[in-house]
Structure 1
Amino acid sequence: MKNNKTALVLIIAALSFSSFNAMAAGECAAKVVSKLASNPTYKALNKKLAPKAANLTAKLRAVKDQPTYASLLSEVKATAGTDRLVITLADGTVVVDTGKSANNNYGTYAAKGVNENHNSRVAIMLAQTHECGLGVETKYSSSDKSNEKYVAIRLGAYLNSAGTARLSRK
């Protein structure tokens, strides 16, 4: 009898946990989709970035030296155009930042000097932690006194990604 009660409690706990995770993923996707649909800047950034996510993921996973870094950098620049694109590892280490062009080389990346760690950036954190793999954010920049909109896409599978791509526009 005691074993049956314990098993029942474990089953209920497991179902509750999986229901919570599914609900959180659905909420994340619904909220992000709503913001992407209602905000023209978010929509444009997502339209520009989403089709490039698989290629960026492959190039990020391949980085091991300056030639493979240069290949990623070329793809990042082509994707960003006049917008800013930041590529991070899953832990927030910045690999490429088109806003810091002088720092974009393999040696600086390997020394973690491209830019400060971005693991606390809202859009990046949301893309990494939510199953839907997307994050949006609007942030005021005190350095240039303007609002910047961000769309982040996780590069790879939930809990096993290569990193995050975050595209932004002022």
Structure 2
Amino acid sequence: MKLQKLVSLFLVLTILLFTSLNVMATCGSQVQTLVTQPPYSNLAAVLTDTEKVKLTNLLKAVKDDATYNKLLTEANAVAAMIANGRMMIALPDGTVVVDTAKGANNTFANFKVKAINENHNTRISILDAQLHDCGIGLEQKFSTTDGTKEVYFAKRLGAYLNSAGTARLSQKI
């Protein structure tokens, strides 16, 4: 009788463990579906896992003008891969490191004094990328400033709860 209860308990715990690991490895079904469809699929095709690793390493290496410029060059190259592209890289606290839409404002000195752009820690795609176990955040917004719609695809740069920051690629459509 005790053995049977132990076996039953073991089976229940095993099922819960595998279910929990499966859920933790993925985002919700809506996010998974959206990532495979335009316009998000276009952004995801550019901001690949390989690119994510490259950006993570460059971000972690930023310590002076030279290392900052390497990250900026890569961010500009990624943004240029899509029409009307923009790449923004932020630290986990939302401090903007690089924003390709800010042009000459992207300097190591401006990054150090947090003057590239306002803090982005409340932006939906960035927040979701930091909080979702899968490390992906999606968002669409209509800009009343220029009358366009912009779609955002963000990836966490590093491990859950121990990331270097977030890379967000966007496109005006």
TM-score, normalised by the number of residues in structure 2: 0.82
Q: Does the 8 Å contact 2:43/2:169 carry over to 1?
A: yes
1:48-91 Cα distance to aligned partner (Å, 9 max, x none)? 01231000000000000100000100111111104000000011
User: Which residue is equivalent to 2:136?
Assistant: 134
**What SS does the corresponding residue of 1:85 show, helix, strand or coil?**
strand
Q: Tell me the distance in 2 between the aligned counterparts of 1:86 and 1:92.
A: 11
Tell me the residue number matched to 2:157: 155
How many residue pairs were aligned? 155
Q: Does 1:78 align with 2:80?
A: no
Question: How high is the TM-score relative to the length of structure 1?
Answer: 0.84
- The answer to whether the aligner puts 1:33 opposite 2:35 as a matched pair is no
The aligned residue for residue 42 of structure 2 is 44
Which residues of 2 match residues 89-128 of structure 1 at below 5 A? 89-128=91-130
Contact 2:35–2:41 (CA under 8 A) maintained in structure 1 = yes
Q: 1:91–1:119: 8 Å Cα contact kept in structure 2?
A: yes
Segments of 5+ residues of structure 2 without an aligned counterpart are 1-16
4+ residue runs over 6 A deviation = 18-21
d(CA) in 1 for partners of 2:125 and 2:23? 16
**2:27, 2:89 → 1: CA distance?**
22
Identical positions, percent: 47
Q: Is this contact kept in 2: 1:155–1:165, CA < 8 A?
A: yes
Contact 1:140 1:146 in 2 (8 A): yes
CA displacement at 1:28 relative to structure 2: 2.1
Q: Could you say what secondary structure the match of 1:165 adopts?
A: strand
Amino acid at match of 2:100: T
Match of 2:4 in 1: none
Once the 2 structures are TM-superposed, how far is the Cα of residue 31 of structure 1 from its aligned partner?
Answer: 2.5
Contact preservation (8 Å) 2:26, 2:134: no
In 1, Cα distance between equivalents of 2:23 and 2:125: 16
**Rounded Cα–Cα distance in structure 1 between residues aligned with 2:47 and 2:26:** 22
Q: Paired residue for 2:171?
A: 169
Taking the aligned partners of 1:21 and 1:145, their CA distance within structure 2 comes to 43
Cα 1:69–1:20 change in 2 (3 A) is: same
Confirm or deny that 1:63 pairs with 2:62.
yes
Q: Distance in 2 between matches of 1:131 and 1:148?
A: 24
